[in-house]
A and B are shown apart, each in its own frame.
Chain A
Amino acid sequence: MLRWLATAAIAALLVLDVVLPHTSLGRRGPEALQRADVAGVTVQVGAPAPDVSLRTLEGAPLSLARFRGHPLLVTFERSVDW
């Protein structure tokens, strides 16, 4: 009985491992949904940055265009948001 339970658990994990790339989580989970917003966007060195809309930590909308004409330091970090 325990042998079959273990087999079922391992088989479930194997199925999960195989189908993960084809699920809504997609490749890299929630990040894939964010990447879709900027898919195909390329930035050339020296060219103006394309306008992107983001959200602040408080949830308020924030547009990059708002800082046009002012020095701006942009850094990129990632965080896990399950």
Chain B
Amino acid sequence: MSRLTAYRALCGAVGALFVVSGLICFAGFFRAQAPGGEMAGPIPLGVGGLYFLAFTGCALVGWGGALLGAARQPHTHRTVGTAAAFALVMMAVYRIAAWLIGDYAFLGNLPRVEAAVLLLFALAFVWLRPPAVSEA
């Protein structure tokens, strides 16, 4: 598998995952509006948490869509991979901080494991990014 193919596969897989996750988050907001619906989720979010869940869903759909675009045209969408790597690092940083703070002790070591996975994905985005193509 060539580097470009691997980059396209990475963008496509992560993009599709983000779009699906985003739609689930978005739908979760509306599902929670039904009587007793808020208690159906794994973590009780409250009205504020649900509001940001919907926001996260919308952002994930946009982010995932951009990654899908990068999978189709990797040379002209290089910056999508760079931005994705930066955002993944940010996500890892707050997970490490959450583990340290202790408010999320009920999650155990999950934040640290997630942070490690996100950082590895960020490394993949950094190293698989295709070279720039000069415009004609």
Contact = CB atoms under 8 A, between A and B. Distances in A.
A29 B36 CA distance: 37
Interface string B102-135: 1101000100100110011011001101000000
B78 to A, nearest CB: 12
Given A13-B92, A13-B93, A18-B116, A31 B102 contact: yes
B101 interface: yes
Interface stretch (A4-12, A48-56, A62-70): A4-12
Contacts of A22: none
Given A6-B85, A7-B127, A13 B100 contact: no
Interface of A: 3, 6-7, 9-11, 13-14, 16-18, 20-21, 25, 28-29, 31, 78, 80
30 contacts: A6-B122, A6-B126, A7-B123, A7-B126, A9-B89, A10-B119, A10-B122, A10-B126, A11-B123, A13-B92, A13-B115, A13-B119, A14-B116, A14-B119, A14-B120, A16-B96, A17-B92, A17-B96, A17-B115, A17-B116, A18-B116, A20-B99, A20-B100, A25-B100, A28-B100, A28-B105, A29-B100, A31-B102, A78-B103, A80-B102
